[in-house]
Amino acid sequence: MNCPACALQLEAITVGEITVDVCTHGCGGVWFDQFELKKVDEPNESAGEILLNIDIEKTNSPDPSQRRMCPKCEDIIMMRHFFSVKREVEVDECPNCGGFWLDYGELASIRTQFESEDDRKKAANAYFEDIFGTELKRMQNDSDQQLGKAQKIANMFRFVCPSSYIPGKQKWGAF
């Protein structure tokens, strides 16, 4: 595979239980196949420390504003988005295979954001509560009011049409 940032050949490096592809002779970027990044994104995951000290060519620094093609999938442009709710590190993710491309230094930044996955989830919950909490509570109140109205209407129909009434099956009338 070729580096999506500087087009040099990526080198496979085994880190703990995973094998990642690293641009060792160029920009220092790292390709993670789907679910591999989760195994090295926290500071307590010692396997990822090897990837923090990659020697790079100082003259070969790619343009971070350039859109990147997935090194694994042909003709697929990766999506750029923030890795976490802290909005500090932008990563490139392939919408087809789910792999991640991290430029040099991004893994180190990601590893300093949260101590654990639990901390990351708490921060995400707090962020979404801050952004959507008021609106979701209003929608919940509206839904509760609509439910109350629907229950009142259902109770009125139960009174008008008792459950013993089956249309056309009563001996006592045509109804």
pLDDT tens digits, one per residue of 43-97: 888 877 888 877 776 666 777 788 999 999 989 999 999 988 888 899 999 999 9
Burial class (CB in 10 A: 0-12, 13-18, 19+), 61: middle
Report the pLDDT value the prediction gives residue 133, as an integer from 0 to 100.
80
Lowest mean pLDDT among 86-90, 150-154, 157-161: 157-161
pLDDT at 72: 94
pTM of the model: 0.68
Residue 31 — pLDDT band, cuts 50, 70, 90? very high
Residue from 101, 112, 36 nearest 62 by CA: 101
Instruction: Evaluate if residue 160 carries a pLDDT over 80.
Output: no
What's residue 175's pLDDT? 47
User: Average pLDDT of the chain?
Assistant: 84
Can you give the pLDDT at residue 2? 94
| Helix segments in the chain, DSSP class H | 106-113, 117-160
pLDDT of residue 58: 62
The residues that bridge with 81 in the sheet, in sequence order, are: 91
Residue 47 has which token pair?
């396997």
Residue 113 has pLDDT above 70, yes or no: yes
